[in-house]
Structure 1
Amino acid sequence: MSSSNDDFVFGRHAGIDFLKTQDADKINKIFLQRGVQEDFANQVYQLARKKHLIVQNAPKNKLDQLTNQANHQGLVLAVASFEYADLEELLDKFENEDREPFLLMLDSIEDPHNLGSILRTCDATGVDAVIIPKRRASGLTSVVAKTSTGAIDHVPVARVNNLVQTTQILKKRGYWFFGTAMRGIDYRRWDAKGKTVLVIGNEGKGISPLLLKQMDQTLTIPMIGHVQSLNASVATGAMLYQMFNSRHPLA
């Protein structure tokens, strides 16, 4: 049995990526559903042998139980609890590398599917780190890992006590803050070069008033349809690709 301190990574893409990229001591047990395709099973066994890990064949209902009936695709890894990055260490590292980082701050994103999708886009667009609050927000969970399709292993996530205080610390280090809001400059005019932090608000309430006051500029996504809102992960994706376009323009 897995221990109460286990988290789970499940799904073929996320599971295989975790097996390929993570140290063996982060993986407590591998559950492989009986009767999965032979080529997939062979891939799992091969990766497990390289790390001297044992694969436990289990019936589908066992994997269903471990993942609360989620779509595990026949593979579940019981892993050590997901680790958060230390923000101060990250900031020092960026300064030592003498570059201009791009950070994403998420103000109380509650849906783990949104967080997972956002991490996937962060990996694709080169976001240097993500900052989330410790309270009233999704943390790193098995659902986040599954939805991120492996990006959770590559994008540092720092969890902090107070976003407003963190904003003030980052401003002292020379970071500029841009937040999404109903009113602001058109996001297509956004120049995201330099030491930059993009702040995305809660799915329903947006950025909290105290945090919104810390923004150097607000950005808005124009909409011409009947529904005047976007899913948090979709809006973040649009913003991050404007950042990418700003930092990596076509020749």
Structure 2
Amino acid sequence: MRKLENSELDRKSIDDFKKSEKTPLILILDDIRSLHNIGSVFRTADAFLVEKIILCGITAKPPNKEIHKTALGATETVTWEHHNNVLEVIENLKKEGTLVLAIEQVESAVFLQDFEIEKNTKYALVFGNEVYGVTQEAVALCDGSIEIPQLGTKHSLNISVSAGIVVWDLFKKMKWSK
């Protein structure tokens, strides 16, 4: 076994990335405090060709050198926008036919492993503040909720870790499920 060189990884150029068919996922980051979390989510979005990131509330936006430290250029490839009010974002996406899901521990949440993708559906995933999670007002507007099962003593994951887990799982189900 040999580690691959960067030149062997068949990486897309920025232009090729922008022209590529995107995964029908929109990531909504609401009131995220950590610039490193924001940058990490941009990298995950780049890796799985996510359609767009919507930054809401106090979530910082590029250009920002602290976001860039973890995004490593993904802010140049992934489409993003900023809105002050997450509730308006959710309402507008739903009007456009996007299925909006909170990534949160709520009554009647579907565990990630049990969540089934609907064909020809665009999804928006709402990730909330590192301390308080997705607000109750936002949860109430969402079409549903996905929960990542956790078996240890902690009952939450870092937002960038949660985004990576959920995006990978949905990407895999969209791309390779029969």
TM over 0.5: yes
Identity %: 29
Q: Distance in 2 between matches of 1:182 and 1:240?
A: 17
Q: CA deviation at 1:207?
A: 0.6
What stretches of structure 1 of length at least 5 have no aligned partner?
1-19, 23-96
Contact 1:160 1:166 in 2 (8 A): yes
Other-structure match for 2:70: 147
Q: After the TM superposition, which segments of 4 or more aligned residues of structure 1 sit over 6 Å from their partners?
A: none
Provide TM-score, normalisation by structure 2: 0.80
Equivalent of residue 200 in structure 1, options 103, 117, 127: 127
Other-structure match for 2:58: 136
Q: CA deviation at 1:222?
A: 0.8
Q: CA deviation at 1:169?
A: 1.3
Other-structure match for 2:86: 163
Q: CA deviation at 1:100?
A: 7.6
Contact 2:29 2:128 in 1 (8 A): yes
- Using a 3 Å threshold, how does the CA distance of structure 1 residues 250 and 100 change in structure 2: closer, same or farther? closer
In the alignment of these two chains, the number of paired residues is: 156
Give the RMSD, CA atoms, in angstroms: 2.1
Other-structure match for 2:7: none
- Using a 3 Å threshold, how does the CA distance of structure 1 residues 157 and 211 change in structure 2: closer, same or farther? same
SS at match of 1:101: strand
SS at match of 1:205: coil
Contact 1:190 1:242 in 2 (8 A): no
Q: CA deviation at 1:250?
A: 5.8
Contact 2:42 2:71 in 1 (8 A): yes
What stretches of structure 2 of length at least 5 have no aligned partner?
1-12, 16-20
Q: Is it true that 1:191 corresponds to 2:116 in the alignment?
A: yes
Q: Distance in 1 between matches of 2:95 and 2:86?
A: 14
Structure 2 residue identity aligned to 1:158: E
Other-structure match for 1:242: 169
SS at match of 1:223: coil
Q: Distance in 2 between matches of 1:147 and 1:136?
A: 19
Contact 2:130 2:159 in 1 (8 A): yes
SS at match of 1:117: helix
Q: Distance in 2 between matches of 1:235 and 1:149?
A: 19
